[in-house]
Amino acid sequence: MKTTESFGISTLQALERLQREGTDLVNLSRNGNLSIDIYKPRGTDRQKPHDKDEVYIVISGKGTLNCNNKKTDCTPGDILYVPAGMEHRFEGFSTDFVTWAVFTGPSIQEKIAM
């Protein structure tokens, strides 16, 4: 979804969309270098490094972010930052674990070209 206008969505609306689409990750808005997703890993988090910086804001549940072998416990309201290209995944997360995933900034390829 590409958005060029202001954007607003409630957590409940985002969770309903996530359930309706039956997937782990749903993009809610994309505009230039900003992308807002909702993410609910199931079973095992199989993420690969992203080409943009990422900020997670935990909505519900608990877990541990393993970022380049540095482990950080997280609970609702916590904010976690992962630089572009860094290996990371959530581990030991509860079944109700859900987080906002905000991708921002230029991609790794754009940074190299600068």
How many Cβ atoms from other residues are within 10 Å of residue 27's Cβ? 14
**Sheet holding 34-39: strands in order across?**
25-31, 34-39, 98-104, 53-60, 79-82
Give the whole-angstrom CA distance, residue 29 versus residue 111: 22
CATH 1.20.210.10 fits 11-113, yes or no: no
pLDDT digits (tens, 9 = 90+) for 86-106: 999 999 999 999 999 999 976
HSE value, Cβ hemisphere, 13 Å, CA-based, for 18: 23
For the chain, the structural domain boundaries read 11-113
Give the whole-angstrom CA distance, residue 6 versus residue 31: 10
- Global pTM value: 0.87
pLDDT digits (tens, 9 = 90+) for 41-50: 999 999 999 9
Give the whole-angstrom CA distance, residue 106 versus residue 114: 10
Give the whole-angstrom CA distance, residue 5 versus residue 2: 9
Task: Name the band, by pLDDT with cuts 50, 70 and 90, for residue 22.
Answer: very high
